[in-house]
Amino acid sequence: MFNTLHAGKLAVLGGSIPLDGRVSWVSRGATGFQPSNAYLLTDGSSSLLIDSGLAVHTEEILDDLAGLIGEGGGVSIFFTRPEMDCVSNLEPIAGRFDIERLFTGGVINPFDAFDDLSRLALRGRRHQIDAQRTEEGDSMARAAEIEIAPGRVLEVESPLLRLLPTFWGWDKETGTLFTSDTFTHGVMDRPDGQRIIDSTVEDTTTVEQVAGHLYAKYEWIPRSTCEPLREWLRDKFDTLAPEVIAPSRGCVLKGRDVVQRHLEFMLDALTPQLV
Amino acid sequence: MEEQLIETMSSDLPRSVAKGVTWMSSCLPFHLADRVIHGHNSTYLVQGEHSSILVDTGNPSSWPIISRTLDALLDGRQLTYVFPTHPELPHTGNLPRLVEKYPDIKVVGDIRDYHLFYPQIVPNLHAKVPGDRIELGGQEFTVVEALIRDLPNTQWGFVPEAGVLFTADGFCYMHRPELDDEDPVHLPGECGLTTSELREPVAVENAAFFTGSALYWARFANDADAVYDRVLHLIDDLGVKSVAPTHGNFISNIRDVEPIIRAGHKRAYRYETAQP
């Protein structure tokens, strides 16, 4: 069942996965359950889905989407990464809803995973969001904008902190920063646990936990020059002052104090000698 | 319709590159103003006397031609194994279709996460760790630790009889310096050439560009020598004769190419002045 993060504006959809040794993006020995997240930004009758969740959660995602936009409704989609934890449900969503626009980067067109007939019908709906790359491939300024509805946009950028081609999104209206595969460390002790860490929740997160999740996928961090990453991250949060951190997996981090605390955890994790 | 929707496969391929090893590649075409260039997205078929293994699956949009090529190469036999090096679409995108075509196929490798991405193929998943060997009949496939990788659940493979090391995104490069793209590119007519056959050799600038983009972490980690020293040890220990990357030409002269890739990897590091 989806959770409302901002009434009429933002909801989080998806299921949870057991951390049982069969998941590569958490540290070995990690336990508990990790939320897998897709987010729906809404404005009146317009909707933008950010990522599509895991295939193992197809039914939850489709049912949640039907509850939010109506059976067969129209929706645009933005993928933060062309990785399977983000794109897995594109085809089933296309089978039950009308995908109006698809925003992705890179050279792979996710519609190409479809059968020819569907592909032919949908290919033209893809919008390239990184057509203008920086010369040396550094972080892309917040140049790309996706219009959710007239007067409301999702600003898109390519972060300096990434592994594969990745995009973060910024929704000024709800103060939400969509961070894809970073800030993924919030886990639950049961599959139906609290998927949002806010001021009402006892937050037991430690820097070791944050570092464990970060290094599991970004395994190069402990042997890297991290100062530029810390500077970039601190500047980003100073500039935007987000109220919500919305990762593609892991608990949603909500509230200015929670966001600030977890930013400090992340900055410490990016100082490996402290961990 | 097919021409518009599927990636092309060079008429130079498939090509036998070593004993029992066939290089199959679909090439993603990029249409520039003045010419067409290609990006390799290779798969390799290793055949023994009684079994066969496909290394990587290719992009979903290549499926029709990959399927036809497998039909021709297998000549009525079933594909026994598929070894996806890591779960990115160009490497694993055809897994569901392969299982549908060959229901008894065993998907081998580091199969963490696959149950979340492809729940319908769980019965076909068989976890392997470096050192595990798969007997194909007069030919063996060995799982090897990936020494250069992006995703953590990446593995390499080795076929001792043929001396071929499969390196996924490791040893990928482009050799057209003027092009601003993250994929290794070549011109039509070069799809099926080995590195020793290329008219224009790999340049350090090309290796640096690709490394800095596709292996993004190289700009932060200043340890290229340590990485490639380990690779050379592996090459010596295994007796590697040639290297088969997914996104570049087949490397038939690894001793000549390795120093160029190493130099490019070093050049991809951005923060020399930040070091103590």
With CB atoms and an 8 Å threshold, state whether A107 touches B28: yes
Strand ranges for B98-149 from DSSP E? 106-109, 125-127, 133-135, 140-145
Cβ neighbours of B90 in A, within 8 Å: 108
Chain B neighbours among A 139-198 (CB < 8 Å)?
A: 162-165
Identity of the amino acid at B65: I
Cβ neighbours of B39 in A, within 8 Å: 107
B266 vs B272: which has the higher pLDDT: B266
B164-185 average pLDDT score? 75
pLDDT band of B174, cuts 50, 70, 90 = low
The complex scores an ipTM of 0.95
pLDDT of residue B181: 53
pLDDT of residue A188: 96
Minimum mean pLDDT among A240-254, B30-44, B88-102, B161-175: which range?
B30-44
Give the contacts of A152 (CB within 8 A, at least 6 positions apart): A43, A171, A173
Point out the residue among B92, B213, B221 whose CB comes nearest to the CB of A223: B221
Nearest CA of chain A to the CA of B16: how many Å? 28
B75-88 average pLDDT score? 97
> Cα-flanking dihedrals φ and ψ of residue B39, to 5°?
-120, 125
B206-225 average pLDDT score? 89
The residue among B95, B113, B149 with the most chain A CBs within 10 A of its CB, best to mutate, is B113
With CB atoms and an 8 Å threshold, state whether B152 touches A120: no
Q: Is the pLDDT of residue A134 over 70?
A: no
Point out the residue among B1, B89, B115 whose CB comes nearest to the CB of A82: B89
With CB atoms and an 8 Å threshold, state whether B1 touches A219: no
Residue with tokens 């020494």: B147
Q: A131 touching B, CB under 8 A?
A: no
Q: Is the pLDDT of residue A126 over 80?
A: yes
Contact by Cβ (8 Å): B70, B45: yes
Strands A244-247 and A176-180: parallel
With CB atoms and an 8 Å threshold, state whether A109 touches B93: no
The residue among B85, B216, B265 with the most chain A CBs within 10 A of its CB, best to mutate, is B216
From the list B122, B117, B57, the residue with the least C-alpha distance to B92 is B57
Point out the residue among A82, A107, A112 whose CB comes nearest to the CB of B183: A107
B169-192 average pLDDT score? 73
Give the contacts of B64 (CB within 8 A, at least 6 positions apart): B2, B6
B13-31 average pLDDT score? 89
pLDDT of residue B8: 67
- What are B24-59's pLDDT values in tens digits? 988 877 777 677 778 888 999 999 999 999 999 998
- Conformational region of residue B228, where left means phi above 0, alpha means psi within -120 to 50, and beta covers everything else: alpha
Q: Which residue on chain B is closest to A137 by alpha carbon?
A: B213
| Number of Cβ atoms within 10 Å of the Cβ of A106 | 19
| Number of Cβ atoms within 10 Å of the Cβ of A240 | 17
Contact by Cβ (8 Å): A232, A141: no
Residue A171 β-bridge partners = A176
Angstrom distances, CA of residue B93 to CA of A191, B60, B98, B107: 29, 5, 10, 13
- What are B99-116's pLDDT values in tens digits? 999 999 999 999 999 999
Nearest CA of chain B to the CA of A138: how many Å? 9
For domain A3-131+149-274, the CATH architecture is 4-Layer Sandwich (3.60)
Identity of the amino acid at A260: Q
Taking all residues of chain A, what is their mean pLDDT, rounded to a whole number? 93
- What are A15-40's pLDDT values in tens digits? 999 999 999 999 989 999 999 999 99
pLDDT of residue B197: 92
A112-134 average pLDDT score? 76
Structure tokens at A170: 């910024």
With CB atoms and an 8 Å threshold, state whether A22 touches B112: yes
B227 vs B208: which has the higher pLDDT: B227
Identity of the amino acid at A54: L
Strands A126-128 and A98-104: parallel
Count of residues for chain A? 275
Strand ranges for A90-215 from DSSP E? 98-104, 126-128, 140-149, 152-158, 168-171, 176-180, 196-197
Within 13 A of B46's CA, how many CA atoms are on the CB side? Answer: 27
pLDDT of residue B1: 35
User: For chain B, which residues lie within 8 Å of any Cβ of chain A, measuring from their own Cβ?
Assistant: 1-2, 5, 28, 30, 39, 59-61, 87-90, 92-93, 110, 112-113, 115-119, 150-153, 180-183, 212-213, 216-217, 220-223, 270-271, 274-275
pLDDT of residue A133: 56
Return d(Cα B6, Cα B58) in angstroms, integer.
12
pLDDT band of B276, cuts 50, 70, 90 = very low
Q: Is the pLDDT of residue A139 over 70?
A: no
From the list A99, A94, A122, A93, the residue with the least C-alpha distance to A109 is A122
With CB atoms and an 8 Å threshold, state whether A225 touches B275: yes
Q: Is the pLDDT of residue B3 over 50?
A: no
Q: DSSP secondary-structure letter at B120?
A: G
A189-201 average pLDDT score? 95
| Number of Cβ atoms within 10 Å of the Cβ of A201 | 15
Q: Is the pLDDT of residue B96 over 50?
A: yes
Point out the residue among A110, A163, A228 whose CB comes nearest to the CB of B216: A163
- What are A63-90's pLDDT values in tens digits? 999 999 999 999 999 999 999 999 999 9
Taking all residues of chain B, what is their mean pLDDT, rounded to a whole number? 89
Cβ neighbours of B205 in A, within 8 Å: none
Q: What pTM, to 2 d.p., does this model score? A: 0.94
